[in-house]
Structure 1
Amino acid sequence: MKAKLSLLLLSLLMPILYFSQSGYPKQIVSEGDSLVAITKHQVKLLNLTKVTLDRQLEINKEKDVKIKALEAELKTTEDIVSKQDERRAISEAEIANRQELITEQDKTIQQLNKSLKREKVKKGFLIGAAVVVIASVLIFK
């Protein structure tokens, strides 16, 4: 029953909807030119829409300029970071080289200290032997 009632209402509304849409917007032909008649309210809406659109276009242009400026700044920043990374890599390589040099110098110092200790021991033995020889010469005389 509801379906039949809905179908009846729709069939009654179709001619009304067609009639209300068929004459709008009103077209006027004047000296071969076609014009569309619109209401004052629609003109205001169109003007407001155009002003809003123009403002949005200006805002978009401003945003595009800002975006380009930020992209240039980003590029500069990336270049700086890249150079700093290169410098850091060079510094790290220099640090590694210097650490190797320090390690080698430490080994050399240790070897020299060992040699110095040996020489001191030899010198001590030589002095001790000389004292013994001199003491025995003095005693046996």
Structure 2
Amino acid sequence: MTAILRPALAFLAATCVTAALASVAQTQLNLAALSALGAPLTPALRALTTAEDLVRFGPVMAAIAAAALLPAFAAAWVVAKFAPGARLIICAAAGVAGLWVAFAVMGYFTPMPTLVAAARGAVGLALICAAGAAGGLIFARLSRAPSAVSG
């Protein structure tokens, strides 16, 4: 695979994984808040709501994730050149940092209190940033060139 195509596809996969996991986290946190208020939520309703949010909110989260992860992974790519043994940790940390910075910056510029409700609290923000860590691991694994086989 070409030197540009491999990281581009890895970035796309990482963005999709991050967006899907963050979207599910957002949905489940919102449903937990509704349940705490006494709303009756069946497992079927939870599943349907999660699926609908993946379709409707997922693309929004994918745009946020892409904007957050692109500079984070670019920095991780450079840093990992100096510490190739720590590539997985570096990319996972970059995913966390990228999403944390994105939500911190969005907090200053969006008209509503928080664009993504789950990011209002520490637990929600941590879960969304954990989705970034998962994306970072995907990026690290998929963007690595295959090892040359010596023989």
Instruction: Give the TM-score of the pair, scaled to structure 2.
Output: 0.24
The structure whose RCO (Cα within 8 Å, separation 6+) is larger is 2
More helix by share: 1
In terms of Rg, which structure is larger?
A: 1
Instruction: Give the TM-score of the pair, scaled to structure 1.
Output: 0.25
More strand by share: 1
